[in-house]
Structure 1
Amino acid sequence: MSAPIKVMIVDDSAVVRQVVRQTLANAPGIEVLGAAPDPLFALEHMRRQWPDVIVLDIEMPRMDGLTFLKKIMAERPTPVVICSTLTEKGAQATMDALAAGAVSIITKPKAGLKQFLEDAHSDLVGAIKAAARANVRKLIPSLPTIGADGVLKVPPKLTADAIISPGLGTGAGMIGTTEKIIAIGTSTGGTQALEAVLTRLPAVCPGIVVVQHMPEKFTALFAERLNSLCQIEVREAKHGDRVRPGLALIAPGGKHMLLSRSGAQYTVEVVDGPLVNRHRPSVDVLFRSCAKFAGKNVLGIIMTGMGDDGAKGLKEMADAGAHTVAQDEASCVVFGMPKEAIKLGGAKTVLPLERIPEAILAAARG
């Protein structure tokens, strides 16, 4: 048997520390080393035994979580899962933490905290297990849920069929267009990977559609951050937005995003719907719509992330004549989604992260 994942909890809320500790105590393969009310207490404990994963709050006394994260990543890089409130201030601080090297986010409300953390058991356990496998040096997302009654509740793992049917769209092959589309799907480690790719693109490049697994409220801030760093325009997608050169549209958290087509122009649809591959937005949903309505005019790219969301969709794009790319293992934070896409035969090319921008520019040249 492999050694358990050793976890340190750092949160100034006694309720959070208690509930998270109890939750993880019942999770196989996880051992809680300790729970500290602030980073300074945590450091004292961690000097005796260093954890494999840190679950970290942002707003705390004596030393805030962001300062602590930067210290850890500079001195001894360790996977960190941020446990943040869904306030605007908390969301902004969490985005800063992701930019500083945190692996993923678990969101918590300001009210009903204990019940929420009990219901979010599988998200927390899944995030910790993904973080333990993460290559955090490349930084410089779901399992079944347990209800309040303690009964395991396994949601169905729906496919993209729940949102969009497979096959060529009505009339999609009837009107010619030379407009190119870039479709990107990513999850754990993807915020840093997307920044590395999009900041290297010139102001004029094909229109880009992106699914990054991320909760509500965070995608808009993420898009704003990228927009401030990139030559291209980056923003959270709205229903009916046109996909045009020089613009990257990020799927909003909590909604699915699909590519659609009107004549020779591409637009996006932002819709509600069930979780697909236990995600909303889902990469498979976006990729299937790209296969259906763009075919060979799209370049599909799957990057770092846990699980298999996007693997089937990338294969559908490849089968529709699109060129498809998977990020290689060496440059991934978590080699999950690209690995599954490669196994299915959906990736025609496997590239390191630093070569993905040139693949996008090559697609622009046809």
Structure 2
Amino acid sequence: MIASSTAPAPRDGARADCVRVMVVDDSVVIRGLLSRWVEADPALQLVASHRNGRLAVEDIERSNPDVVVLDIEMPEMDGLTALPLMLRKKRDLIVVMASTLTRRNAEISLRALSLGAQDYVPKPESSSEVTTSVDFRRELIEKVKALGQRRRASGGFGGRQMRAQTTAGQTVSQGPVSRAATASAGYSRLAAAPAQAAPPALKTRPYSSVRPRIVAIGSSTGGPQALQQVFTDIGTAIREVPVVVTQHMPPTFTAILAEHVAKAALRPAKEAADGEILMPGHIYVAPGGLHMTVVKDGGQPVARLTDGAPVNFCKPAVDPLFDSVAKVYGSAVLAVVLTGMGHDGAAGIRTIAAGGGSVIAQDEATSVVWGMPGAAAQTGLCCDILPITRIGPKIAGLLSGGLR
């Protein structure tokens, strides 16, 4: 009988601080390929691989992985069934869902995020495409490393307390939000670890004195959960302004994300169409595989979709959106940078700040990965660095003309 799982011995030179990875996929070809990619990275250590969710659940405590790459469709026990069982055995486990780009799998992946998965990676359709896809390999390994290293550094999700230096010289403490306050949006595990020593203070700048006429949001890893929280908290405050969102996502996923956002916001939300007029109270999500910008056409703000080269390895990317809204709306822009890997959006907020607009960044404690919001915060051009539960209410207050 062929063994259905492996538990490799530590390779020569493997460090104790390597991220421990389990791969779960019913395809022996893909399972072997992903395992070799993990083993090839000196920051990662493959501790197990399994062909279905049942075997993975049974092995969680023995193998003790930091990160599990989990397929969705598998015999005996699929990924969505296995996910909560894994998290029950190890509540600070990082799970990255891997699925092909079908609508069903996209819906399951987003459902998995609400059940505790930290992220997803879209797989190419065939084994041969997986083998040759440089982008898939890069995205998978980058996410596994970023999520796993943050978990090991913080002893679980919790992060460090953040302090923002106001222009008046006052230090504002922004520590982790409570588990009770965030459980409904899937953030119950973000405050699992005790706060560590605070890093150096970050500078902020005053909000624009002009009431926002558009809200532009950029997000990536952890973004679907963060967007759900923000739009739930904003309530009806966006009824007088359009909202444009760039979330790093592939095609199919963005259409389903828009449906989820509509339910959270109780406002119309959809993938943007090229040339459509941006209407107050409506939410427009950049379609996967296309950049979204805002331009003036006949005196009206319209969405413009382009199939240009990736920006910051992303398409859609946040920087083109932020640059464009700054040009159209000037000091009436309110931009928000939520959790995500990399630094997309940091260049765009320089354009927004130069035009007099306002920027809010999510804090480190409640970010799944403090890459994008961290890069934004480091510019010193943000007006606030806030935990996720305070961002929606802050936006609502600014749109009503108060809370500056």
Same fold (TM over 0.5): yes
| CA distance in structure 2 between the partners assigned to 1:119 and 1:231 by the alignment | 35
Residue 66 of structure 1 is aligned with which of 62, 77, 80? 80
TM (normalized to structure 2)? 0.77
Aligned residue type for 2:34: V
Matches within 5 A, 1:61-210: 61-77=75-91, 78-111=93-126, 112-116=128-132, 120-132=136-148, 133=150, 139-140=187-188, 180-203=213-236, 204-210=239-245
2:276 aligned partner: 241
Residue 205 (structure 1) shift: 4.4
Percent of aligned positions that are identical: 38
Alpha carbons 2:346, 2:372 under 8 Å: kept = yes
2:61 aligned partner: 47
Gaps of 5+ in 2: 1-14, 159-185, 189-209
SS at match of 1:120: helix
* Aligned length, in residue pairs: 330
Residue 242 (structure 1) shift: 2.0
Alpha carbons 2:212, 2:334 under 8 Å: kept = no
SS at match of 2:235: coil
Alpha carbons 1:19, 1:118 under 8 Å: kept = no
Aligned residue type for 1:97: A
Residue 200 (structure 1) shift: 2.3
TM (normalized to structure 1)? 0.85
Aligned residue type for 2:74: M
SS at match of 2:64: coil
Alpha carbons 1:7, 1:34 under 8 Å: kept = yes
Q: Provide Cα deviations, 1:1-27, integer angstroms capped at 9, x if missing partner.
A: 661111000111111111111121111
Alpha carbons 1:19, 1:117 under 8 Å: kept = no
Alpha carbons 2:215, 2:244 under 8 Å: kept = yes
Aligned residue type for 1:60: M
Cα RMSD for the two superposed structures: 2.0
Alpha carbons 2:57, 2:82 under 8 Å: kept = no
| CA distance in structure 1 between the partners assigned to 2:125 and 2:247 by the alignment | 25
1:348 aligned partner: 383
| CA distance in structure 2 between the partners assigned to 1:233 and 1:25 by the alignment | 45
Distance 1:308 1:2, change over 3 A: farther
| CA distance in structure 1 between the partners assigned to 2:349 and 2:376 by the alignment | 7
Residue 355 (structure 1) shift: 1.4
Distance 1:326 1:119, change over 3 A: closer
Gaps of 5+ in 1: 141-176
Aligned residue type for 1:328: D
1:56 aligned partner: 70
| CA distance in structure 2 between the partners assigned to 1:9 and 1:265 by the alignment | 50
Q: Provide Cα deviations, 1:288-322, integer angstroms capped at 9, x if missing partner.
A: 11111111111011111111100111122012100
Residue 119 (structure 1) shift: 5.9
Residue 329 (structure 1) shift: 1.4
SS at match of 1:110: coil
Residue 257 of structure 1 is aligned with which of 284, 288, 292? 292
Residue 75 (structure 1) shift: 4.3
| CA distance in structure 1 between the partners assigned to 2:263 and 2:387 by the alignment | 25
| CA distance in structure 2 between the partners assigned to 1:109 and 1:339 by the alignment | 31
Residue 81 (structure 1) shift: 1.1
| CA distance in structure 2 between the partners assigned to 1:13 and 1:54 by the alignment | 16
Residue 32 of structure 1 is aligned with which of 46, 58, 71? 46
SS at match of 1:59: coil
Residue 73 (structure 1) shift: 3.2
Aligned residue type for 2:140: L
| CA distance in structure 2 between the partners assigned to 1:270 and 1:297 by the alignment | 22
